[in-house]
Amino acid sequence: MELENKIKDPYKRPVISLRISITSRCNVNCLYCHHDGIMPQTEEMTADEIFRIAQVAREIGIRKIRLSGGEPLIRPDIVEIVEKISTMDFKDVSITTNGTLMERYAEKLVNAGLNRVNVSLDTLNPETYKFITTKNYLESAKNGIRAAAQAGMDPVKVNMVVMKDLNHEEIWDMFNFCKENNAVLQLIELLKTESCPDTEFIDQYHYEMEDLEEELAQAADKVKTRDFMQDRKKYYVDDGEIEIVKPMDNTEFCKNCTRLRITPDGKIKPCLLRNDNLVDIIGAIRRGEDMDELKKIFIDAIDNREPYYGGC
């Protein structure tokens, strides 16, 4: 299926990408993590089952695959998973990771067909890192970012959740670190979701980015608005790049949402912010259903997509 014939939901939103959570396990315990509403699982999909899901996605016209978790690099078969998916004609195969194991896997993943990576790193301060993650893996995460860039992943993006009085004063230090290591900095505004409704936590750590955006607009050599990415702004400053990721609780996010998700237990998740409309796909795969039936399950899930926030 060609790009111009992408499958669309009833709201005319093209479904371009699929994020597959291949594990709910993680080797850090970030204090803000809401797991995208995913509960810990005792059973994980096999590499072949993940490949089968990717096959169906490609058949209906999905063009991009992102592997996530939990921490996807915690799986010993991660290179095999990437290798299998990369045999198909996807425009892009990427991964989201905390970076702590990336130094070990970077070159192997690139050779297996991985195109790019997003690394979650919120601080360069060891004490702050331990407070956020409960671990002492900061140097491993930094080395993972360097290794990803050196292995040829492009782009390497660093996701920094900005938290008031915790790491907000490190933004420019993180920008310089990213620039030195050929990475793009993404500043993520803390948000409340159905799966993370802790208002007290949000109130304590939420950092309002309007003043920062004004500062960036004045300092930038160029500003680019990304279509189909919630009109997200990318600022080009002194040969470096900073992108602002605003909260998802808005109509602009929903209007431009082009993504489906798969939970670690093999359910299609049509909406990031909902857990009441999951569609089982792994059961059908394990029953040996053919491609036509698996495509129908995917298409039914897409046909039932609706914006979480109105106004689309």
pLDDT the model gives residue 2: 43
Helices (H), 21-74: 47-59
Burial tier of 119 (Cβ tally within 10 Å: 0-12, 13-18, 19+): buried
pLDDT the model gives residue 203: 85
Low-confidence spans in the chain with pLDDT less than 50: 1-4, 35-37, 195
pLDDT the model gives residue 272: 85
Partner residues linked to 56 by β-bridges: none
pLDDT, tens only, 55-65: 999 999 999 99
The pTM assigned to this predicted structure is 0.93
Residue with tokens 């067909």: 113
pLDDT the model gives residue 223: 95
pLDDT the model gives residue 196: 53
pLDDT the model gives residue 113: 98
pLDDT the model gives residue 225: 86
Is there a contact between 91 and 113 (Cβ–Cβ < 8 Å)? Answer: no
Domains and CATH numbers, the chain: 14-303 (3.20.20.70)
pLDDT the model gives residue 4: 47
pLDDT the model gives residue 36: 47
Report the C-alpha dihedral over residues 81, 87, 93, 99, rounded to 10 degrees.
40
